[in-house]
């Protein structure tokens, strides 16, 4: 079994639930062809360098997995058929050096969700505090405009 990485860009026009279903379908294609998923890295919605099918943004998702080389043709064929994908890219890791880099990327991807979970409560606590002053300033500006008239 060889080591692979797939970067897929999902259409931004889909709802969050549809994006998750599309990613689940992508991972199902890999596992149904004998692949074993090692890690996932949801990079989120990002701006594209250029518009693809009139979409300036896309949802990036990386999957690290191992599979027999004979299954890659079928996996890529199924990716081409999927209309929810704007683009995909398959990277094969062959040499010992590349496999070591793949293992490092897998470890990094597995560690990333733990960090985002720790930061999530802090961000949730800070977000309302930032919104409140902006809401208070808006009426004050309107009051000044009416008195100046």
Q: What is the three-state SS of the chain?
A: CEEEEEEEEECCCCCHHHHHHHHHHHHHHHHHCCCEEEEEEEEEEEEEEEEECCEEEEEEEEEEEEECHHHHHHHHHHHHHCCCEEEEEEEEECCHHHHHHHHHHHHHHHHHHHHHHHHHHHHHHHHHHHHHHHHHHHHHHHHHHHHHC
- Per-residue confidence (pLDDT) for residue 80, from 0 to 100: 95
pLDDT of residue 128: 47
Q: What is the residue extent of each domain of the chain?
A: 2-116
**pTM of structure:** 0.73
Q: Quick check: 6 and 90 in contact, CB under 8 A?
A: yes
Predicted pLDDT at 146: 47
Looking at residue 24, what is its pLDDT? 94
Tens place of pLDDT per residue across the chain (149 aa) = 999 999 999 999 999 999 999 999 999 999 999 999 999 999 999 999 999 999 999 999 999 999 999 999 999 999 999 999 999 999 999 999 999 999 999 999 888 776 555 554 444 444 444 444 444 444 444 444 544 44
pLDDT at 112 (0 to 100): 77
Query: What CATH architecture does domain 2-116 belong to?
Result: 2-Layer Sandwich (3.30)
């Amino acid at each position: 079994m060889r080591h692979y990485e797939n970067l897929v860009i999902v259409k931004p026009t889909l709802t969050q639930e549809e994006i998750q279903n599309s990613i689940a379908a992508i991972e199902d294609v890999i596992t149904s062809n004998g692949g074993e998923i090692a890690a996932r890295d949801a990079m989120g919605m990002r701006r594209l360098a250029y518009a693809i099918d009139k979409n300036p943004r896309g949802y990036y998702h990386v999957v690290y997995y191992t599979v027999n080389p004979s299954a890659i043709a079928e996996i890529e064929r199924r990716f081409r058929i999927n209309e929810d994908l704007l683009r995909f890219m398959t990277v094969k890791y062959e040499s010992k050096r590349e496999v070591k880099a793949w293992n490092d990327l897998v470890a990094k991807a597995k560690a990333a969700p733990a960090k985002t979970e720790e930061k999530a409560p802090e961000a949730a606590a800070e977000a309302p505090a930032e919104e409140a002053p902006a809401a208070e300033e808006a009426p004050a500006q309107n009051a000044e405009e009416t008195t100046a008239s």
